[in-house]
Structures are given as structure tokens and as C-alpha cells.
Amino acid sequence: AGIGKCVAMDLARRNARTILACRSRERGQAAVEEIRAATGNPAVVLRLLDTSSLASVRAFASAVLREESRLDVLVNNAGVTGLPFAITSEGFEQTFATNYLGPFLLTNLLLG
């Protein structure tokens, strides 16, 4: 939703292979179908990613590096605010993990 969906829509309109990295399979698949229908671009795909989980970030990056021949643009758009204090299973404060640690790790893993 929001800025991320608008960016994905614009990239798909430019006929780019576009990977939507989403936490929710249901919402992500709905966005994929909407973007494909609006742009006529069948190369819009969903991959699951939870940036609050460093294990999820590592798995996502590994799959992208394995499956994609190149990566031209990375848009780190995940973010949360106003969550109650919580610690992730990896021991980090959830908002900090989601907004900073996950995107930082993802970017560094994909730099190659």
C-alpha cells in the first residue's frame, strides 16, 4: 500500500521485472494482481519478507541473488511506527529491527 505500491506500479508500467517484498502473502498477492492488471506487465512477482526478522532478510536476499541475474533498483520502503514495545525472536527491539536493521542488512547483502 502507499508509497511502495505506487513505486512498484511505476516500475511495472516501465516494463521492469518488479519484485514486491511483502510480509503478508494475502495483501501482497492482491497488490501483485492489481499491478499486473493495471500495467499489463506479467513480470510482477511476490516474495515474502519480514524486515523485523534478520533470518527472513537473509533468506530473501539469498533467493534474490540465486534467482535474479541482476538487480538495478532497490527501494527500502518497509517501516512501522507506534508499535507497543516488543523484542524480536532475535533479541532486537521490533521497531528498530523493522525500520533500520532489516533494511540495512538487506541492502548490504544485495550489494554483491
Give tens-digit pLDDT for 23-78.
999 999 999 999 999 999 999 999 999 999 999 999 999 999 999 999 999 999 98
Prediction pTM value:
0.93
- Give the H/E segment covering residue 30: helix 25-39
Domain residue ranges in the chain: 1-48, 53-111
Looking at residue 89, what is its pLDDT? 96
For the beta carbon of residue 112, count every other beta carbon within 10 angstroms. Answer: 7
Rg of the Cα atoms in the chain: 14
Categorize the per-residue pLDDT at 109 as very low, low, confident or very high, splitting at 50, 70 and 90.
very high
44: β partners: 18
pLDDT at site 1: 82
pLDDT score for 13: 98
Give the span between the Cα atoms of 85 and 94, in whole angstroms.
7
pLDDT band at 100 (very low <50, low <70, confident <90, very high): very high
